[in-house]
Chains A and B, each alone.
Chain A
Amino acid sequence: MSILDQESRSAPPTRESSRRPARWPARPWARDALFAVAALAVAFIAILPGRDGAGPSISLMQLVASMAAMTVAAVGLNLLMGYAKLVSLGQGGFYAIGAYATAWLVLDGGWHPLLAIAGALALCGAVGAVVAVASMQLRGPQFSVITLVLAILVERILNEGALFGRLAGYPNHAQHGTTGLPPIEVLGFTLEPPMIANTVATVMVPVVVVTALVVIVSRNIARSPWGSSLSAIGESEMLASHLGVDVFHRKVSVFVLASVFGGLGGVITTLCFAHLQPETFDIFLTITIVLAVVFGGSGTVLGPLVGAVGIVWLEQSDILAQLGDLQQEYISSQWYLSTPGLVGVLFVLTLFLMPKGIVGTIGALVMGRRQRADVAEDDGAGLQETAGLPATAEAVSDASVDGASPAGRAGEPLLVMRGVGKNFGGLKAVADMDLTVGRGQIHAVIGPNGAGKSTLANLLTGVYKPSSGSVRFEGREITGLAPHKVARAGVARTFQTPQLFHDATVLDNVLAGFPDTGRTPLWAAALKPPSRYRRDAEMRAEAERLLNLVGLTEFTRLRAGELPYGKQRALEIARALASQPELIVLDEPAAGLLATETAGLGDLLLSLRAHGYALIVVEHHMDLVARIADQVTCMDQGRLLSRGTPQQVLSDEGVVSAYLGKPMEEHS
């Protein structure tokens, strides 16, 4: 369900799908099963060469182990950085904590290894939670700085803490009489690390299985409503909260999850190498994990895997060293770059040439080609502006079959605003406004620029807390509630400039609107129980119904950013409808639309009213307002200027002069 996922889904089960070539396994569970089998198969193939434990295979198994550890850490970071757009430089710190805590709990704590691993991961989660709670108010560079501070703090403690053997590493001869952890034993099996020739590195089996599971689980999460919420946060936290996501809570959760994955990478290192040196957990490690994500493709399912495998291979193979030698030979024996410098160059080149990473770039190419094919199939008819926003009688009757729409209780007041005011500093943006909207009513709010209309919309939806007055919705007090709580209460909204996920498909945009985005628990997203499949199918069917309602059926699989502007507006309305709201607040829905599109928008809004939705429409297009509104409120200078039917308000001389800026006396 992820929004930024480049890979497209199978064709939806509608009449439309008959027109398109069938994709490989059409059933979602079959696709997931196939992915899981493939992931495990790759994992086992990777360790096949080590099955006899022969000497030369040992170094290969070590390489696989490094790749596995890096993959797990990168997958975790990708959830944070690729989806929620929180660039953490602290992943190396969690990696180190996971590694050292496991070793220490086993050796000094005497814990059972499995318990020690669980303990180490719990510690990572706990540290992650503390850092997350501390840093969630920070944005951009400050967030990165605090996570970097954490990574450096951890490195320092490991370097200088006598407990961890300092530069002698952990364990070491002086303190423990050995330089290697004993292999762990589970259920009578001894899990040998890939260290000794002619001993089969049995630990590799659980390591690659866990790595595959992490990739599978992260794919589930990324494509679940939970993953959509991360993408929404990455796009705009304000948007996410309007989709019903508790942004603070969700950001802390994803940070904790990423921390645990980071720690798991460290656990794998400990299990496979049996000895830890503090200098391997330096800033270079944390940056390498970031590079793995960026290089492979941040915000894609396979990106971190591809990136991690690629980077580890590059760093450990001879290629970079040989490049260094070549420079020494042909350029200068002093002025050359060796491995870390070349990694830096690679990083910059990736940012310049392949900002979407390997997987992202390939995905975009594939998707672009597929879309061109789709558009050709549609004969381009769908892109004509004249198609407008058709909301035909057929669409209306289609929709009314569904019981979800809140029809039937028209008349009772749904929203009651009393004496609401908002001051910014000394400026009174809105003063003493009343507003009552009943079910099945369209209430238009008009007024000249700067009259306070948008502020009113923001007061209603929880963006601003009112300085005075109260807002009641369905008889419930919602004054001053956070936007996600207002959204969950049943108030959806659209924005002046459509806030869409431009890189996601039209269908995915609508899917992000469902309440599931804010409410799916993490475990359900990760494990994907059968109920999730049923709900996904339900949501998809409902999303297609809504797309049909707003006239976007043909565009289901197009990228939202490629829709004409008018259709982006329609899409935003479909997404708002997906949250099953009682009331929709539309902030200038006709802005930037062509005349024909505006007419289509009017039809659509009227059909929504027929379904029993209540609408508040902040608008400037008076012909639209005159056509659709039951009641019109005209604001000027933050206050109520006039209220009544469209005819009454639009013929009010006060309104006319407020708009045209005529001094009042000319009319007297």
Chain B
Amino acid sequence: MDALVLGLVLGGLYALLAQSFVLTFITTKTLNFAVGEFVALGAFVVLAVAGWSWLPDVGKLAVGVLVAAVVGAAAYRFLVVPFMTEGEHDVRWLLSTVALSFVMLNLITNVEGPSPQRSETARLSGAVDVLGAGVSKQQLLIAVLAVVVTVLLVVASKKTSAGLVMRAVSQDPETTSLMGVSPRLVGMVTYAVAMGIAALTGTLYAATVGASPVMGAPLLVASIAVAVVGGLSSLWGPLLGGALYGVLSEVTSYEFGAIWGETAGLLLVIVVLVWRPQGLLGRRTEVKL
């Protein structure tokens, strides 16, 4: 039972970050492999402004999110757009975002040093009892936030005009441009939002493990896995994928040891991809001739 609750909470963390993969995939059919570094970027920016005592914690979070959003939009414009020009088989953007990840990781390490730094911003201390399992408040906050963010995104995509544009772009970017909307601009905005979410995740996560350059790496793997399991084209996908992945890996590591937990999670990805390449909630894209 403990493992189940902890797995769900952990799944929440992955689901929150997975949302940034899903967002960019829905609108641009690309993934940013440097998301892990945006997690760290957010955490360190917030750390840098932690001393601004006049700014409430929410404001500090906002600074971190904004910086990551701007860098994210620029990354899309200059490192993704030039490398996705040759149709759906063109995956050079994948290599360029990996390269970006190297550069950012290296830069952050050189500037901040490799060891974790304590982050107090937006930090809840203590634990609460959930169905008999002790869960740290911070982790619970992240999991709850994952649900809130997902619901907000779903509502926004259904009810707002920006959401309408996003759905239109995901279905047919060319026709969207005939409606006076630039798909490239939509992509930049989406990247900004997605990297903002990554930065938010990073800040809240840093409050539990400290801010370090490599803090995003384990999250990256798990959240790609979660996004793929849930379905890269579904906003609800991360919650389902996160729950499955989190519970499976937590229960497995509880029973057989930590190493098998992650292995089981990643094997889940392979099983799901074989069975449903589009993910559990994903929409199958028709093959056009």
Chain A residues within CB distance 8 Å of chain B: 85, 87, 89, 131, 134-135, 137-142, 144-146, 148-149, 152-153, 156-157, 160-161, 238, 283-284, 287, 290-291, 294, 334-345, 347-348, 351-352, 355, 458, 463
Cβ A146 vs Cβ B106 within 8 A: no
Supply 23 A–B pairs (Cβ within 8 Å), ascending by A. Answer: A85-B89, A134-B273, A135-B270, A135-B273, A138-B273, A141-B30, A144-B91, A145-B31, A146-B270, A149-B224, A149-B266, A156-B263, A284-B102, A336-B107, A338-B106, A340-B102, A341-B102, A341-B110, A344-B100, A347-B102, A348-B103, A351-B95, A351-B96
> Shortest distance in angstroms between B144's beta carbon and chain A's nearest beta carbon?
28
Say yes or no: A337 contacts B31, CB within 8 Å: no
Q: Which B residue sits closest to A424, measured CB to CB? A: B286
User: How many angstroms between the C-alpha atoms of A342 and B232 in the bound complex?
Assistant: 31
Kindly report which residue of chain A lies nearest to residue B112, judged by CB atoms: A334
User: Is B16 at the interface (CB under 8 A from chain A)?
Assistant: no
Q: Which residues of A contact B225 (CB under 8 A)?
A: 149
Question: Which 9 A-B residue pairs are closest in the complex by CB-CB distance?
Answer: A341-B106, A344-B102, A347-B99, A344-B103, A344-B99, A160-B259, A134-B274, A334-B111, A153-B266
Interface 1/0 per residue, B28-55 and A, CB below 8 Å: 0111000000000000000000000000
User: Nearest CB to that of B33 among chain A residues?
Assistant: A148
B228 interface residue (CB < 8 Å to A)? yes
Contact B262 A351 (CB under 8 A): no
B101 within 8 A of A: yes
A486 shortest CB reach to chain B, Å: 15
By size class, the interface of chain B is 35 or more
B-side residues, CB < 8 A to A, are: 25, 29-31, 79, 82-83, 88-89, 91-92, 94-96, 98-103, 105-107, 110-111, 217, 221, 224-225, 228, 232, 258-259, 262-263, 266-267, 269-270, 273-274, 277, 289
Q: How far is the CB of B218 from chain A (nearest CB, A)?
A: 9
**Cα distance A335–B274 when bound, in Å?**
44
Q: Smallest CB–CB gap between B227 and chain A, Å?
A: 9
Which residues of chain A are within 8 angstroms of B224 by Cβ–Cβ distance? 145, 148-149
Closest A residue to B259 by beta carbon equals A160
Across-interface contacts of A138 in B (CB, < 8 A): 273, 277
The smallest beta-carbon distance between B32 and chain A, in angstroms, is 11
The complex places the Cα of A290 from the Cα of B91 at a distance, in Å, of 13
Alpha-carbon separation in the docked complex, A482 to B236 (Å): 36
Q: Judging by beta carbons under 8 Å apart, are A338 and B91 in contact?
A: no
Given contacts A139-B89, A335-B111, A340-B106, contact A352 B82 (CB under 8 A): yes
B91 touches A140 (CB 8 A): yes
State in angstroms the CA–CA spacing of A345 and B82 once bound together: 16
Contact A149 B269, CB 8 Å, known A160-B259, A338-B110, A351-B92? yes
The CA of A552 and the CA of B289, in the complex, are separated in Å by: 29
A456 to B143, CA, bound (A): 53
Tell whether, in the assembled complex, residue B262 and residue A294 are in contact, meaning their CB atoms are under 8 Å apart: no
Which residues of A sit under 8 angstroms from B217, Cβ to Cβ?
A: 283
> A138 CA to B275 CA in the complex, in Å?
11
Tell me the bound Cα distance from A334 to B267 in angstroms. Answer: 40
Docked complex Cα distance between A141 and B110 (Å)? 31
CA of A352 to CA of B92, assembled, Å: 10
List B contacts of A134 (CB < 8 A). 270, 273-274
In the complex, chain B residues whose CB is within 8 Å of the CB of A290: 95, 98
Check A146–B273 contact: CB distance below 8 A.
yes
The CA-CA distance from A458 to B103 in the complex, in Å, is 48
A85 to B94, CA, bound (A): 13
CA distance A194 to B164 in the complex (A): 63
CA–CA, A639 and B252, complex, Å? 59
Contacts A135-B273, A141-B30, A144-B91 given; indicate if A335 touches B101 (C-beta within 8 A).
no
Contacts of B94 in A (CB 8 A): 87, 89, 141, 144
Docked complex Cα distance between A135 and B83 (Å): 23
User: How far does the alpha carbon of A135 sit from the alpha carbon of B92 in the complex, in Å?
Assistant: 19
| Contact among B89, B95, B232, B263 with A347 in the assembled complex (CB-CB below 8 Å) | B95
B259: contacting residue among A161, A283, A336, CB under 8 A: A161
How distant is the Cα of A658 from the Cα of B262 in the complex, in angstroms?
63
Knowing that A141-B29, A290-B95 are A-B contacts, what are 7 other residue pairs whose CB atoms are under 8 Å apart, sorted by A's residue number? Answer: A149-B224, A152-B221, A238-B289, A284-B102, A337-B110, A338-B110, A339-B106
Complex alpha-carbon distance, A85 and B106, angstroms:
29
Asked if A294 and B95 sit within 8 Å, CB to CB, the answer is yes
**CB neighbours of A141 from chain B (8 A):** 25, 29-31, 91, 94
Are B277 and A149 in contact (CB-based, < 8 A)?
no
